[in-house]
């Protein structure tokens, strides 16, 4: 997990899209219901990764065996964004469809960046419909068209804790908490084709 400069971010996005596209080439499972869900997840993943702004104020990447499996971009409050001036705004957030835990690890880092930048760990996002459940699981609440996280709110006392200036999620000890690729993932060739 690390912050990326603009060049690293561009490379990571390209790599991520190539890997996810290889997954799309292999095709979803033969089960019809799962296959519909998988297709939608793949479509959303590629759409969001394709529009990801490498020039955002902060780009954080989660890597497994050197491959990017999740990316999140954050902006300081500014013109045209969220009216909430006391939170960093999540612009894009995406993880590899066959990974698990990367979203959680990225959100801990995003809250930590918010803490270090003087926003108290607070985050705000215009959530895509399919992602609302994930945001709720991580302690976000809906406020109008926005979803917001305040990790130090009383409601989040059981979900988040501050260690120094780092925010950590309090996870269910019965659940696995490592970031991992859940199944074999076909990887694109190591030099991804230029789009």
Ligand X SMILES: CC(C)(COP(=O)(O)OP(=O)(O)OC[C@H]1O[C@@H](n2cnc3c(N)ncnc32)[C@H](O)[C@@H]1OP(=O)(O)O)[C@@H](O)C(=O)NCCC(=O)NCCS
Interface residues with ligand X (CB under 6 A) are 41, 44-45, 48, 93-95, 99-104, 125, 127-128, 130-131, 133-134, 137-138, 171, 175
Q: Provide the greatest CA pair distance for the chain.
A: 48
Q: What is the DSSP code (8-state) at residue 129? A: G
Return the number of the residue (147 or 188) whose C-beta is nearest ligand X.
Answer: 147
CB of 37 vs ligand X, minimal distance in Å: 9
Do residues 122 and 128 lie in contact, with contact meaning Cβ atoms separated by under 8 Å?
no
Of 23 and 48, the one with the shorter C-beta distance to ligand X is 48
CA gap 150, 137 in Å, rounded: 13
What is the smallest separation between the CB atom of 13 and ligand X, expressed in angstroms? Answer: 13
Q: Which is nearer to ligand X, 125 or 188 (CB)?
A: 125
Measure CA 55 to chain center.
Answer: 16
Pairing of strands 160-163, 166-169: antiparallel
- Tell the smallest beta-carbon distance from residue 101 to ligand X (Å): 5
> Please, which residue, 38 or 150, has the CB nearer to ligand X?
38
The CB-of-162 to ligand X minimum distance in angstroms stands at 18
**What count of other Cβ atoms lies within 10 Å of the Cβ of residue 41?**
17
- Helix or strand (DSSP H, E) at 89: strand 88-95
């Amino acid at each position: 997990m690390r912050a990326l400069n603009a060049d690293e971010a561009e490379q990571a996005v390209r790599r991520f899209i190539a890997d996810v596209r290889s997954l799309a080439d292999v095709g979803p499972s033969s089960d019809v219901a799962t296959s519909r869900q998988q297709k939608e997840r793949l479509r959303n993943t590629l759409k969001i990764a394709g529009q990801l702004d490498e020039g955002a104020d902060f780009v954080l990447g989660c890597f497994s065996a050197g491959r990017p499996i999740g990316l999140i971009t954050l902006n300081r409050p500014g013109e045209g964004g969220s009216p909430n001036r006391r939170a960093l705004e999540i612009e894009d957030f995406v993880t590899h469809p066959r990974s698990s835990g990367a979203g959680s690890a990225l959100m801990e880092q995003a809250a930590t960046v918010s803490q270090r930048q003087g926003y108290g760990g607070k985050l705000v996002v215009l959530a895509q419909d399919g992602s609302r459940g994930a945001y709720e699981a991580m302690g976000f609440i809906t406020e109008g068209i926005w979803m917001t996280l305040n990790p130090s709110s009383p409601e989040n006392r059981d979900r988040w804790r501050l260690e120094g200036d780092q925010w950590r999620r309090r996870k269910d000890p019965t659940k696995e908490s490592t970031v991992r690729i859940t199944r074999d993932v076909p990887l694109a060739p190591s030099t991804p084709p230029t789009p």
